[in-house]
Structure 1
Amino acid sequence: MAAAAETVEVDGPDGVRAVRLSSPDRLVWPQVGITKRELADYVVAVGPALLRHIGDRPVTLQRFRGGIDGEMFYSKNPPKGVPSWVRAVPVTYPSGRSHDQLVIDEPAGAVWAVQMSTVTFHPWPVRTTDLDQPDELRIDLDPQPGRTFADVVRAAQLLRTLLDELGLTGWVKTSGNRGLHVFSRITPDREFLDVRHAVIGIGRELVRRDPDLLTMEWWKEQRGERIFVDFNQSNRDRTIASAYSPRPLPHAPVSTPLRWDELDDVDPTALTVRTVPARLAEVGDAWAGIDEAVGSLDAAADLWRADVEERGLGELNFPPDYPKMPGEPPRVQPSRKNEANWTDDA
């Protein structure tokens, strides 16, 4: 028999809020026995750090019916029953349509999201004061089969060096899976496409520095055993799991901020819902200074410009749900390209 609903009292900027938690003993990660109540306790324990990275941003909730082995769906519109103290802002999508999206501004809001079966928080790289100009550059280093975590660490360190050269401060975290995420705060003076182009410029320069390790190939069949620099995470309506977000893998991993000097020795599989609160209490948030380290995107934008003007390189593929974009290469898998039906302009 399921346990009765419980009330979780959560402190916040407007005092203590009581958040109802139904079925607190329901297993979210059945493989390790982590319940809905334990996930709510985790969110409370890391609340201030989590809110540093998702607060004041539109956020997509990755929700699961019946735990991580159940049906998964992304929740963008405010769901039925959203508390009056959880706000929403109108965001515009690549299709041009616009609707409200949730903003989680206090730990009680994150606990309410857990009540709604949320596992992972996916914030946009914008603040609610300017929803069209990102204040955060995000690069996902995605290892292809055959590469180890040590290889990803080497790629992240190369990226950090390049960001330093470009006047940007890199902040690294585990992805919660096999990769690493590197973020950098930027002045919000460019729109999404400009940020995407700057990321492409950064990625191409990384590949030039170590082409055996890194790749910008969009099609998986062309990546080989290299680490993919995922430039499409910079598009409008593309998000990365936030710092301190749990991930829906059997061992309940957490996407965890790290200091750069920890990278060589860290075991990402040891950073979980059960271990991260103690780490945070002991060493603090490794990204605590991120809001004070804001840099200009000018030098990164110059990399893109040089690639276009001096090397003849241009746009790369967009995600398949995007409308066809100006200058975009053909959306056809290279192995399925039929030369008989192909022209010089695709």
Structure 2
Amino acid sequence: MNDLHRDTHLATKRPHADKPVDVAGVRITHPGRVVYPDDGITKGEVAAYYAAVADWILPGLINRPLSMVRCPGGTDSACFFQKHHAAKLGSSVRPIPLEEKDGGEDDYVYISDRKGLLQLVQMNTIEFHPWGSRVDKPDSPDRIVLDLDPAPGVAWEAVVEGARGIRELLAGMQLTSFVRTSGGKGLHVVVPFRRGPRWQAVKDFCERVAVAMVERAPDRYIATASKAQREGKIFIDWLRNARGATSVCSWSLRARDGAPVAMPLRWEELGKVDSGAAFGMQAALERASRLRTDPWEGMATLQQRLPRG
């Protein structure tokens, strides 16, 4: 099966009894509980997915403060974001004390290994949303995410064209960028850089990029979150690049019908993908098993700098 084909059918065997199972050294309770009702995907299969793609997902996830989307009753019930630490999350789910907006301090969450990842899955985590900075220097970001969010009715080809336009704009600033499907409607353009700029400078830079895209084609793009003005346009969401803001990470499932995955791509693959939710869980597993090199190869060693304002 082509690894760019969306297919959420799972060939893995479900347990006959809903007894706890061991997945990568972590005890997963209620593995037979259905998490994605429309697709019949169980908690055990979600855990098996994250164990299988751990080597791919962890580089973009470990040692970063993160928020999780947890769905204790499955994706058709009340899911919620969680960013604060609790002991019940697991022994390998670690606290990081961070200053809050109100000036107080609270413990946020981070993980450092596969065990922490699976312990969060055991606690019904479906989605992983890391910060753009690491726990050793949480106020020194090292990556940005520009999210292309199309209004209803905008053609997918226009979203692809927008991502390529951002890539071209960034290349003109001597910045290499990377692309992934969001697992939703759009695409993310991701830029790693050397730590140094503070959050406000990074946010200001992202706003300038979004505004530059709007100036190029005001009939296609918008840089404000106003829904009233978004009809027929693509929102270049630069607001995710602030302290405490997050974006879904590569290889994360989304808590949506079809169990779509946020999938990193090579730029040359972008033309072969037909939507932001092109990869279901099974297609992502097959892609992970076939990949020989990281689609974002070289990202971790890039030493590029953001231009100053």
> Structure 2-normalised TM-score?
0.90
Q: Tell me the residue number matched to 1:54.
A: 61
Q: Tell me the residue number matched to 2:226.
A: 219
**Deviation, structure 1 residue 142:** 0.5
Q: Contact 1:257/1:287 (CA < 8 Å) preserved in 2? A: yes
Q: Residues 258-337 of structure 1 correspond to what in structure 2 (within 5 A)?
A: 258-268=265-275, 269-283=277-291, 284-298=293-307, 301-302=308-309
**SS of equivalent residue, structure 1 residue 81:** helix
State the distance in 2 between where 1:89 and 1:5 align: 30
Q: Tell me the residue number matched to 1:201.
A: 208
**Deviation, structure 1 residue 146:** 2.2
Alpha carbons of 1:216 and 1:270: their partners in 2 closer, same or farther (altered >3 Å)?
closer
State the distance in 2 between where 1:146 and 1:83 align: 43
Q: Flag the structure with more relative contact order, 1 or 2, with Cα contacts below 8 A and sequence separation at least 6.
A: 2
- The answer to whether 1:170 aligns with 2:185 is no
Q: Contact 1:172/1:180 (CA < 8 Å) preserved in 2? A: yes
Q: Tell me the residue number matched to 2:90.
A: 83
State the distance in 1 between where 2:130 and 2:214 align: 28
Q: Contact 1:51/1:104 (CA < 8 Å) preserved in 2? A: no
- The answer to whether 1:185 aligns with 2:192 is yes
Alpha carbons of 1:238 and 1:2: their partners in 2 closer, same or farther (altered >3 Å)?
farther
State the distance in 1 between where 2:111 and 2:280 align: 22
Amino acid at match of 2:305: S
**Deviation, structure 1 residue 84:** 2.9
Amino acid at match of 1:272: G
State the distance in 1 between where 2:71 and 2:87 align: 16
Q: Tell me the residue number matched to 2:132.
A: 125
**Deviation, structure 1 residue 55:** 0.9
State the distance in 2 between where 1:237 and 1:45 align: 29
Bigger Cα displacement from structure 2, 227-236 vs 249-258: 227-236
Residue number among 95, 116, 127 corresponding to 2:123 in the alignment: 116
State the distance in 2 between where 1:164 and 1:55 align: 28
Over aligned residues, Cα RMSD in angstroms? 1.5
State the distance in 2 between where 1:288 and 1:88 align: 30
**SS of equivalent residue, structure 1 residue 181:** strand
Amino acid at match of 1:221: A
Q: Greater Rg, structure 1 or structure 2?
A: 1
**Deviation, structure 1 residue 265:** 1.6
State the distance in 1 between where 2:305 and 2:181 align: 25
Amino acid at match of 1:174: T
State the distance in 1 between where 2:197 and 2:84 align: 26
- The answer to whether 1:210 aligns with 2:217 is yes
**Deviation, structure 1 residue 2:** 6.0
Identity %: 34
**Deviation, structure 1 residue 173:** 0.3
What is the count of residue pairs matched by the alignment? 292
Amino acid at match of 2:265: L
Residue number among 41, 51, 70 corresponding to 1:44 in the alignment: 51
> Structure 1-normalised TM-score?
0.81
Amino acid at match of 1:216: A
State the distance in 2 between where 1:85 and 1:73 align: 21
Q: Tell me the residue number matched to 2:114.
A: 107
Q: Residues 129-168 of structure 1 correspond to what in structure 2 (within 5 A)?
A: 129-168=136-175
State the distance in 2 between where 1:41 and 1:52 align: 18
Q: Contact 1:93/1:236 (CA < 8 Å) preserved in 2? A: no
State the distance in 2 between where 1:167 and 1:223 align: 30
Q: Contact 1:174/1:181 (CA < 8 Å) preserved in 2? A: yes
Bigger Cα displacement from structure 2, 177-186 vs 276-285: 276-285
Q: Contact 1:94/1:236 (CA < 8 Å) preserved in 2? A: no
Question: What are the ranges of 5 or more consecutive residues in structure 1 without an aligned counterpart?
Answer: 11-17, 303-346
Question: What are the ranges of 5 or more consecutive residues in structure 2 without an aligned counterpart?
Answer: 1-15
State the distance in 2 between where 1:139 and 1:92 align: 25
State the distance in 1 between where 2:83 and 2:17 align: 29
Q: Contact 1:254/1:273 (CA < 8 Å) preserved in 2? A: yes
**SS of equivalent residue, structure 1 residue 239:** coil
